[in-house]
Structure 1
Amino acid sequence: MTELTALGKSPAPAARRGPRRPRRATALNLTAVVLGLAVWTLLASIGVQGLPGPLQVAAKAGELIADGTLLDDALASLRRVLLGCLLGTLLAVPIGFLMGWYATARGLLEPYVQFFRTIPPLAIIPLAIVLMGIGEVPKVFVIFLASFLSSVVATFQGVVDVDRTLINAARVLGASDRTIFLKVVVPASTPFILVGMRVGLGSAWGTLVAAELIAAQEGLGFRMQQAQLYYDLSTIFVGLIAIGLLGLLMDRLLLLAERRLTGWQERR
């Protein structure tokens, strides 16, 4: 008999409560989607500024899927976002660790990070065009910048917020700085890094439409801009929904990775 049972507390209710929260969250999510579609249908039915209804948008999405346009645009946008986010994260994490672990690096790098963090990545587009041309490089660069700034600040804050008690305890036990960094600082900073990646991913998708204004020939942002010229609201809605779904899917994957990598954290 376990101690829990000996105290007269049955573990069964706690075990039963485990799966209930995800089920309740899923039910609430589905309810929100249904309510959103109902409100959208209502607004379209009363003719709000020519707003297309869900069925009209679904029909347009079917056309774009059938001729391959939506798939090509989605793949082009996804490639740019993934490349920009990957490069941004790969550079941001080591810089964030340097800033958080070494006071000298913090003093040298923090002014630049904070300066560029106040400049919207969209404001860099004219400069990127002049310096990098109109190919793929400036598009990826502005997306990279959006994800980099979010990730570097999150990583830096994660290192700074590591509990000093853990570091001091490791030093008392004879751990070297390298061991402390790898065994204490990196694991404790991982939740911050992953949150920074999620924020950076949102910023990257938010920058995508403007980035694809740089002489793009394909992409969801490009397709939406073309549809704007012809007042094709259905295509614009298809682009918006595609961006939202892709962004949501990528965010859920990062959230899953966060739960796997930070399973030691106490959660509510």
Structure 2
Amino acid sequence: MIQLKTREEIELMYESAQLVSKTLGILAKEVRPGVTTLYLDKIAEEYIRDHGAVPGFLGLYDFPNTLCMSPNEQVVHGIPNHKPLKDGDIISIDCGALKNGFYGDQAFTFAVGTIDPEIDKMMRITRQSLYAGIKKCKVGNRIGDISFAIQLICENAGYGVVRELVGHGLGKEMHEDPQVPNYGRKGSGPKIEEGLVIAIEPMVNLGTYKVKFHNDGWTVTTRDNQPSCHFEHDVAVVNGEPKLLSTYKYINEALGITSNEEDEFLYNFMHD
């Protein structure tokens, strides 16, 4: 059952999502060759707790850490460890926080040093598909319109769109209805209504869309061991239109990236 949110609840979720965004911004300054994912995990946990929240993933379904850290061929749900990142790696960092009784949930794939241009292109196209999906998150559309928009961009570029893992509703639970696949048909799925809050998160592979689930119960890799990337935003439907609760602003500032991709989706709860 889909739990639509009131304006007051959306404002609380905005706080949660923004804390996750700021956490990723802090991590953006630290991602470099030689750093371990456990080091990054410790930074994230301390930052979240210092700002009046608790890590959203730590202990959720018995997950052992604050961050899901998924390098290279890992798609999602990688467990932080002592292995140093290397020049040329990519690393998906998925972060959650629980504040004021509501979750924020966001992911970004970072380049470690200098990466292969083909992998960089995949990351840019996937990020583009995320915003194409967000644009479809409006009253009058259906979830399948979001899914189709993401799939079209990624598959037209020759990439594999993961089927077994999907986006989701978000609120007092980390995973709520509806599921938000990154593939699908226009006009299919649940209707998008005022107050819907969802996490849209394309997971896209350089090769096949097929994945492998590992025996640790968490790690998911591409079946052909080609690299994968993952981008995620929290989106609320306000006055019929998509509004971002999360942001990549802090990551962009840390990495020196200039971007206007979020401008049309900015949420100002004093005026919206």
> So what's the TM-score if we normalise by structure 2?
0.30
Higher strand share: 2
